[in-house]
Chain A
Amino acid sequence: KAGVTQTPRYLIKTRGQQVTLSCSPISGHRSVSWYQQTPGQGLQFLFEYFSETQRNKGNFPGRFSGRQFSNSRSEMNVSTLELGDSALYLCASSPRQGGSTDTQYFGPGTRLTVL
């Protein structure tokens, strides 16, 4: 099976702009989670989508939003970009069937730089 893919891999934006990141989960996986990784804050959970519904949300402002499509692909949007939004954004998918199948598999990430 193909792994989790994220596009684009690198992105440069300026303050005030908005950005959309895309994630395609492993085939058959229904859950997609997003994380922000920065040197200062480490890895922080943004939100999780399952069957097109947001099931969990981390402690991030409303500028961060997402959605999931019927094919389980997910997009994450950040509006009114700030310098502090510069980070590696990781997407992870899981089957979400309970038991031993709940391991999350990560994509390579999108490196966002805000100038």
Chain B
Amino acid sequence: AQTVTQSQPEMSVQEAETVTLSCTYDTSESNYYLFWYKQPPSRQMILVIRQEAYKQQNATENRFSVNFQKAAKSFSLKISDSQLGDTAMYFCAFMKDNYGQNFVFGPGTRLSVLP
């Protein structure tokens, strides 16, 4: 079974600074997908970024980028120029393949962006 670990239960960062959230996973699969979702307080979960395991290039979406290290089974999220609206729970998620549309989620990291 796959497992996802997020070792930082809570983090804080000053507005406009950069922060990196850690995620490690355990799997024997060679083809899979990794995602970061954010869940703002009392609001619904939205996709931040996704990475296909077969792609060596790290995904980026505006201020969000990942550092995907397949051999180390590591998938960290870097948020640049942090904004107050980035305050949320961040979940790292693993999806095995196209047939199993079921995420395995990490426990989450609560990120607070401070003014």
Contact = CB atoms under 8 A, between A and B. Distances in A.
Contacts of B35: 103
Contacts of A107: 44
Nearest to B37: A106
B98 interface: yes
Interface stretch (B10-18, B21-29, B72-80, B104-112): B104-112
B102 A98 contact: no
A42 B35 CA distance: 16
A99 B45 CA distance: 22
Contact of A103 (B50, B91, B105, B108): B50
Contacts of B33: 102
Contacts of A58: 102
- Which of B35, B45, B103, B108 has the largest count of A CB atoms less than 10 A from its CB? B45
A58 B105 CA distance: 13
B102 A45 contact: yes
A48 B102 contact: yes
B84 interface: no
Contacts of B95: 102
Contacts of B114: none
Interface residues of B, number: 23
Given A42-B107, A42-B108, A43-B91, A106 B101 contact: no
Interface in B25-63: 33, 35, 37, 43-47, 50, 52
Given A42-B105, A56-B100, A106 B91 contact: no
21 contacts: A31-B101, A33-B103, A35-B103, A35-B105, A42-B105, A42-B108, A43-B91, A45-B103, A48-B102, A56-B102, A90-B45, A96-B98, A96-B101, A98-B98, A100-B52, A102-B33, A102-B95, A103-B47, A106-B37, A107-B44, A108-B44
Given A103-B47, A103-B50, 12 more contacts: A33-B102, A55-B99, A90-B45, A96-B101, A98-B98, A102-B98, A103-B35, A104-B101, A104-B103, A106-B44, A108-B44, A109-B44
